[in-house]
Amino acid sequence: MKDQSFIAILAAAALAIASSSCSKEYPTPTEIPPPSASGWKFICREGKKNGKLLPPTTYAWRPEGKKALVRWEKDVFEAMGYPAKTRCEQVSPRFQEAYDNETLNYMTNGSWKGKNGKEQPVICAASVEGGDCETLLFTLRHKDDSKQILDQLNEVIQGSSSKPVGHDSGVSDQIYIKVDLEEFLRNAPDE
């Protein structure tokens, strides 16, 4: 499992993990199967659709097909040395790590102290609803609405949106979304 190729989702700016807090709830379905049962890989690729080049995208992949989770549409962290492709390449292994460690049961919003000692809004993984942020998935800009981004992720994962989250979006209330990759695989369109 550890030798699977990694690459994953939605915006990350290489800030060190130091402290976090998480609380609240959000509904949904069944438990994610153990990593060995489904063979998911989180990858970062620049794809094509209808002959048009797509921005770097974090995909959940397995032999049956790949499902787009996040399109890294803007180079919002480029000034800090993290263009969209770099963020995609850094975040994808974080999703893989959370999946392999079985902490990708819930995604929530929180904050982590960066290298500069300042709190940074983040999306992170928690193994239980109401639990602490266990795996940093990606950082956000201070002006991003973390609840809105989680809502968009939930729509993608639940299959109610056929488009991946586009990272281009204040701080909001904390929520948790249940992650059910099997449901996502059944409902999301192949690319």
| Domain range annotation of the chain | 35-184
pLDDT tens readout for residues 40-59 = 899 999 877 888 888 899 98
Alpha-carbon span 22 to 10, nearest angstrom = 19
Statement: residue 176 has pLDDT above 80? no
Please tell me whether the overall predicted TM-score, pTM, comes out greater than 0.75 for this model: no
- Nearby residues of 170 by Cβ (< 8 Å), 6 or more positions away: 142, 143, 144, 145
CA distance 157 to 145: 19
pLDDT category of residue 169 using cuts at 50, 70 and 90: very low
pLDDT in tens, 60-117: 888 878 888 888 887 667 667 788 899 999 999 999 999 899 898 899 988 888 778 8
pLDDT of residue 47: 77
pLDDT at residue 132 tops 70: yes
Q: Which pLDDT value is given to residue 33?
A: 38
* Residue 69 phi, psi dihedral angles, 5° rounding: -105, -50
Return d(Cα 106, Cα 129) in angstroms, integer: 6
pLDDT at 174: 55
pLDDT (mean) for 29-38: 40
Edge-to-edge strands, sheet with 135-139: 135-139, 119-126, 106-113, 176-178
CA 69 – CA 57 distance, rounded (Å): 7
pLDDT at 178 over 80: no
Give the single-character DSSP code of 82. B
